[in-house]
Amino acid sequence: GNSVTQMEGPVTLSEEAFLTINCTYTATGYPSLFWYVQYPGEGLQLLLKATKADDKGSNKGFEATYRKETTSFHLEKGSVQVSDSAVYFCALSELGGAQKLVFGQGTRLTINP
């Protein structure tokens, strides 16, 4: 079946550091890929998406590129802020059936001032 694997957390960085959160997937066909962010006490918010190979999604300084050859969708940001502290989920959208989201296990990010 389809699956998503994220790098193990938690991740702690200093403000203005470079961020990478690795995400790889296993899927039938070419699913759409998403990054969601969850702030404390809230639901998930869409951060960015990519729907086909070589697409780059970007939002709020975050970027991720859909790499078909490595089945990856790594999240990057050049300079993180304290306000980026949250849990980040990589997900793929299945093509058939319920077209449900299959999530990675989540990565808790803490940014220290």
Partner 1 sequence: EADIYQTPRYLVIGTGKKITLECSQTMGHDKMYWYQQDPGMELHLIHYSYGVNSTEKGDLSSESTVSRIRTEHFPLTLESARPSHTSQYLCASRTGGADQPQHFGDGTRLSIL
Contact residues toward partner 1 (CB under 8 A) are 31-32, 34, 36, 41-46, 49, 51, 87, 89, 93-95, 98-101, 103, 105-106, 108
Least distance to partner 1, CB of residue 105, Å:
6
Rounded Cα gap, residues 21 and 54, in angstroms: 18
Nearer to partner 1, 16 or 108 (CB): 108
CB-facing half-sphere around the CA of 67: CA atoms within 13 A: 13
Nearer to partner 1, 14 or 45 (CB): 45
Q: Are 78 and 15 in contact (CB under 8 A)?
A: no
Nearer to partner 1, 19 or 104 (CB): 104
The strand pairing partners of 65, in sequence order, are: 56
Counting every residue, how long is the chain? Answer: 113
